[in-house]
Amino acid sequence: MTGSMTSTRNPAEEMQTDPTRDRAPTSTTFSRTLGLAALAGSGWLIVFGLFLSPNDRVQKTGVRIMYVHVPSAWLAYLAFIVTGLSSIAYLWKRTRSLTWDRIAGASAEVGVLFMGITLVSGSLWGRITWGTYWTWDARLTTTAFLFVTYVGYLAVRDLGGSQQQRAKRSAVLAVLAMLEVPLVHFSVTWWRPLHQNETVSDGKLSGLMLFTLFVGIIAFTLLYVWLVLHRQRVLALLDQVDDQGLDVAIAERRDEAIAAQEVPS
């Protein structure tokens, strides 16, 4: 009986422990370099955004919010598009892999974070320029709707079931949700709301202001890649834990059955 019990050992007990690896289990040399670059970029953004870039003629110092607001909006769009494309890659039989599902989930989570930042920073900027934190104009409303959609997407991922079931239902939702991104982006053109039109492509920004905006976009893009890289590895670890839990439960039931057979009648 004791011999059969050895098979119920948790696989985690059998692993080699490496203190360096366990402090940063999702890190690699590449991700550490990327993280440092993102950190440096963020530092540059703060220095340029708060101190070196000039005030705007009309908005005065309020324009500095643009350097976090616009890059975070851009990152949220990028994140949701990556979620959609990864979901298509999962749904397509030739490329079907849970890695795509984890990239989609990680990207959506980071996208929700950046979309939340967009809404809050935009609200503060709105208070300065429009005198109100919120107005139901087309850009703000569609952005809020996009945010809620992806919060819903994350909730759908947590509904339970097998990893394949989770991947399939969330992939379908992500492909549909991706269609909202152009709706939000072009809302300023289609409905002419209170929110200003595109500033960068219209050539209204130049010099240090344009440079600072690009610093923000590069810094946030590096942050996004770093966050998604780590987050999808965390999701892979959680899936492994989930698999192990299932394996241990099956082994325990098997041992219980063997033990019951060995009990003398």
The binding site for another protein (CB under 8 A) comprises 10-12, 14-16, 18, 21-26, 28, 42, 46, 49-51, 55, 60-62, 64-65, 68-69, 72, 110, 113, 116-117, 120-121, 124-125, 127-128, 223, 227, 230-231, 233-234, 236-238, 240-241, 244
Residue 256, C-beta contacts closer than 8 angstroms, at least 6 positions apart: none
Closest CB 121 distance from another protein, rounded Å: 4
Report how far residue 240's alpha carbon sits from residue 259's, in angstroms, rounded to the nearest whole number.
28
Q: Select 35 or 84, whichever has its Cβ closest to another protein.
A: 35
Give the shortest CB-116-to-another protein separation in angstroms: 7
Nearer to another protein (CB atom), residue 131 or residue 207: 131
Provide the minimum distance between the beta carbon of 211 and another protein in the complex, in angstroms, as a whole number. 18
Nearer residue to another protein within complex by CB, 69 or 166: 69
Residue among 4 and 123 whose Cβ is closer to another protein:
123
CA-to-CA distance for 8 and 251, rounded, in angstroms?
5
The four Cα atoms 34, 40, 45, 46 give a dihedral, to 10 degrees, of: 130
Task: For the CB of residue 262, give the shortest distance to another protein in the complex, in Å.
Answer: 30
How far apart, in Å, are the Cα atoms of 194 and each of 123, 129, 130, 189, 197?
A: 13, 11, 9, 11, 9
3-state secondary structure 90-107: HHCHHHCCHHHHHHHHHH
* Least distance from another protein to the Cβ atom of residue 22, Å: 6
The DSSP output letter for 54 is P
